[in-house]
């Protein structure tokens, strides 16, 4: 059993994070001043469930027996995808801080030179803009000037927001038009963040992240494939709930099955440094929003069991059960140790979070796989 390999996205993490953490501006130090730009545009996610260390292979705890899958390897991609979604929201805030130096305090237009790629950028702010059936107090659009005749209009960033309470806004960003040098390998990647405070779902603050056109290394050695991600994050007091999914159309499991989504729900607390998560691996083409189907029928343990028995139909059930011990749901985590256990709670602090998972459900895999983020 030790020779079996689970598909890992570690090989694409370098590309993804170089894309996500190269903002459109160098974020020069800005003195506090009055402007109309949003003061916040994201929700922090506890590192117990959004941890770049997992993506970089930094933790190897979670092995119960020598012939058991390591817990942090099982959930490695969960931490990666959540971190990618969080990174997209960080880009938006970084860009806002970068242009705050221009003191955006009214309707205006200006031109500046991108500090990274040296290209001319145009910025315009208008008021009372309508987008998706709603009127916003302001719309800010930044474009790559020499690309405005292209199909995408050269758009690098659009923000729609209201100044009145509760705070709400939408930000759409195309990194390639922000910095042609750093993001040359991600010409079609577009991110969208919908942010609000005091929304109708009962959270103090919430955001939805959508990403399309994300280039991922293809394990079949074909040209780059395109991935999508959709994720919701809601904060209530010290607790943060996360749910969503991300697809990889050419991902391979044990027996060569191609194309599946990482469907997930999670809840964590930065104050207590704990987290709980449940993950399913449904096909990318599955047209269902049923929580039972996504997280129970296609649970990690169920999918891994089916994949392994397809390769070794005569495998000893006891050996297989031992090997998959850490795949039992939900998975329990801490910030310092990462994965702690599967299916067995470490204590009351985790029980509170685990109870929240039943009210959370991933998005429809097919709809996520077909997601396309577009500007106005």
Read off the pTM: 0.87
- The Cβ of residue 145 has, within 10 Å, a number of other Cβ atoms equal to 15
Structural contact between residues 223 and 246, judged by C-beta atoms closer than 8 angstroms: no
- Residue 300 in contact with residue 326, Cβ under 8 Å? no
**What are the DSSP calls for 203-220, one per residue?**
-SEEEEEEEEEEEE--TT
Exposed, middle or buried, 197 (CB in 10 Å: 0-12/13-18/19+)?
Answer: middle
* Bridge partner list, 275: 268, 333
Range of 1-5, 83-87, 190-194, 307-311 with top mean pLDDT: 190-194
Best CA proximity match to 327, nearest among 50, 48, 78: 78
DSSP state of 283: B
Contact 260, 253 (CB under 8 A): yes
The per-type count for the chain, helices as H runs and strands as E runs, is 10, 13
Q: Measuring CA to CA, which residue among 353, 240, 363 is closest to residue 291?
A: 363
Cα–Cα distance measured from residue 247 to residue 370, given in angstroms and rounded to the nearest whole number: 10
- 273 phi and psi angles, rounded to 5 deg: 60, 40
Q: What is the CB neighbour count within 10 angstroms for residue 212?
A: 21
HSE-up of residue 292 (Cα within 13 Å, Cβ side)? 0
User: pLDDT per residue over 34-52, tens digit each?
Assistant: 677 777 889 999 999 986 5
User: What's the pLDDT tens digit per position in 143-198?
Assistant: 999 999 999 999 999 999 988 778 899 999 998 998 888 888 888 999 999 999 98
Q: Is the pLDDT of residue 135 over 80?
A: yes
């Amino acid at each position: 059993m030790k020779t079996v390999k689970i598909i890992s996205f570690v090989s694409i993490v370098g590309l993804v994070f170089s894309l996500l953490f190269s903002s459109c501006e160098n974020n020069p130090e800005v003195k506090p001043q009055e402007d109309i730009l949003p003061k916040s545009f994201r929700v922090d996610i506890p590192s117990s469930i959004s941890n770049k260390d997992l993506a970089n292979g930094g933790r190897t705890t979670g092995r119960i027996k020598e012939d058991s899958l390591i817990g942090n390897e099982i959930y490695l991609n969960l931490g990666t995808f959540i971190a990618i979604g969080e990174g997209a929201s960080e880009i938006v805030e970084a860009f806002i801080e970068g242009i705050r130096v221009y003191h955006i305090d009214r309707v205006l237009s200006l031109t500046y030179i991108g500090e990274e790629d040296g290209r001319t950028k145009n910025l315009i702010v208008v008021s009372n803009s309508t987008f998706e059936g709603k009127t916003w107090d302001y719309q800010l659009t930044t474009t790559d000037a020499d690309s405005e005749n292209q199909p995408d209009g050269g758009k690098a960033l659009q923000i729609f927001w209201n100044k009145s309470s509760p705070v709400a806004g939408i930000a759409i960003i195309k990194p390639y038009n922000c910095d042609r040098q750093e993001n040359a390998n991600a010409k079609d990647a577009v991110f969208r963040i919908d942010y609000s405070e005091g929304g109708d779902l009962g959270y103090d603050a919430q955001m939805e992240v959508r990403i399309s056109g994300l280039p991922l290394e293809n394990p079949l050695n074909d040209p780059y494939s395109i991935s999508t991600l959709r994720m919701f994050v809601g904060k209530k007091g010290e607790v943060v709930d996360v749910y969503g999914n991300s697809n990889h159309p050419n991902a391979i499991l044990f027996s060569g099955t191609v194309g599946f989504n990482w469907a997930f729900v999670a809840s964590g607390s930065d104050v207590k440094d704990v987290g709980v998560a449940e993950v399913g691996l449904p096909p990318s083409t599955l047209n269902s929003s049923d929580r039972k189907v996504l997280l129970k029928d296609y649970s990690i343990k169920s999918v891994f069991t089916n994949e392994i028995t397809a390769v070794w139909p005569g495998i000893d059930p006891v050996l297989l059960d031992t090997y998959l011990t850490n795949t039992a749901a939900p998975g329990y985590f801490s910030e310092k140790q990462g994965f702690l256990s599967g299916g067995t709670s470490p204590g009351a602090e985790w029980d509170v979070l685990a109870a929240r998972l039943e009210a959370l459900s991933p998005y429809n895999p097919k709809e996520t796989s077909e997601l396309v983020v577009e500007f106005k």
